[in-house]
Structure 1
Amino acid sequence: MATLFTRIIDGDIPGRFVWADEICVAFLTIQPRRLGHTMVVPRAEVDQWVDLPADVAAHVFAVAQMIGVAQRSAFDAQRIGVLIEGYEVPHAHVHVWPSRTPDDFDLRNVMREVPDADADRAAATLREQLRRDGHAEFVPEH
């Protein structure tokens, strides 16, 4: 059975994509620590990041870094958070989020109800910054 992330990647479940290439995608999470919180996910269904082929892991982390650079500018972040855990979805992924305070790193501090308009605006803001940063070929329209 396909993972939740594969179903999002395949379009069976909607997602707010900000990056798509042949190796990985990035989309906003529905329970962000801050608006703009993004998941970078390899297209291949691999349960744990330590089991990713080295070249795929390197690419996922390079994309996570580009997302983080864009988040820093787009959301005026003081720091960029990164987390790999994978207990909820058995599909390797990297969380990347803009931060303004150490509280943004507390795993209990997630936004449970994000209005669609706010999430859509955050995705559009991040997409536009990624385009300004020179990554337009990998940034989907929505």
Structure 2
Amino acid sequence: MSIFSKIVSGEIPAHKVAETADFLAFLDVSPLVMGHVLIIPKKEVDYIFDMEDELYSGLTLFAKSVAQGVKKAFPCKKVGVAVIGLEVPHTHIHLIPMNNVSDMNFAKEKLKPSQEELAEAAEKIKAGL
């Protein structure tokens, strides 16, 4: 069971920003920038292109709606989208508020926000949805 499946089941807490029967959006605890959100299907599928078409398209539409809330909460030029999928064997989409390309550099040092800062960020995004 992946760490993301443990978040879905409630075994591990997360700062959730949106949820449906099939999908979950929550803050990355080691974000590149504040407002960095992870979008996952609740069904554990390792590789995004192994997903069934209906689940894949639903995940994409869910990400689109969450991205609108991210942009309202964290004003930026665009919300960047990345799918890497090497660290956690559970499909996930990164939504990252961007003002320049370096905001999407996964090699740079991650932020270490407090639980209070994450909770505040999650509330801002929820308010923007």
CA contact (8 A) 2:25 2:39 kept: yes
User: How far apart, CA to CA, are the structure 2 residues paired with 1:106 and 1:29?
Assistant: 15
- Counterpart position of 2:80: 81
- Counterpart position of 1:62: 61
C-alpha root-mean-square deviation of aligned residues, in Å? 1.1
The one-letter code matched in structure 2 to 1:6 is: S
The one-letter code matched in structure 2 to 1:54 is: D
CA deviations 1:86-117 (Å, max 9, x no partner) are 11100011111111222101112343411222
The one-letter code matched in structure 2 to 1:34 is: V
CA contact (8 A) 1:31 1:110 kept: no
Q: Which runs of 4+ in 1 moved over 3 A?
A: none
User: How far apart, CA to CA, are the structure 2 residues paired with 1:112 and 1:9?
Assistant: 24
User: How far apart, CA to CA, are the structure 2 residues paired with 1:57 and 1:22?
Assistant: 14
Uncovered stretches (5+) of structure 2, i.e. residues with no partner? none
DSSP 3-state at the match of 1:26: strand
The one-letter code matched in structure 2 to 1:39 is: L
Match runs of 1:11-50 below 5 Å:
11-50=10-49
- Counterpart position of 1:51: 50
Is residue 9 from structure 1 mapped to residue 8 from structure 2 by the alignment? yes
Is residue 90 from structure 1 mapped to residue 99 from structure 2 by the alignment? no
The one-letter code matched in structure 2 to 1:109 is: K
CA contact (8 A) 2:68 2:128 kept: no
CA 83–110 in structure 1, closer or farther in 2 if over 3 Å, else same: farther
Aligned length: 129
CA deviations 1:3-56 (Å, max 9, x no partner) are 100001101001001111111111101111111111110011111000111011
Counting aligned pairs with the same residue, the percent is 26
- Counterpart position of 1:115: 114
Deviation at 1:76, TM superposition (A): 0.8
The one-letter code matched in structure 1 to 2:13 is: P
The one-letter code matched in structure 1 to 2:35 is: G
User: How far apart, CA to CA, are the structure 1 residues paired with 2:109 and 2:64?
Assistant: 22
DSSP 3-state at the match of 2:95: strand
User: How far apart, CA to CA, are the structure 1 residues paired with 2:5 and 2:94?
Assistant: 16
Q: Which shifted more, 109-118 or 65-74?
A: 109-118
CA deviations 1:66-97 (Å, max 9, x no partner) are 11111112111111111111111000111111
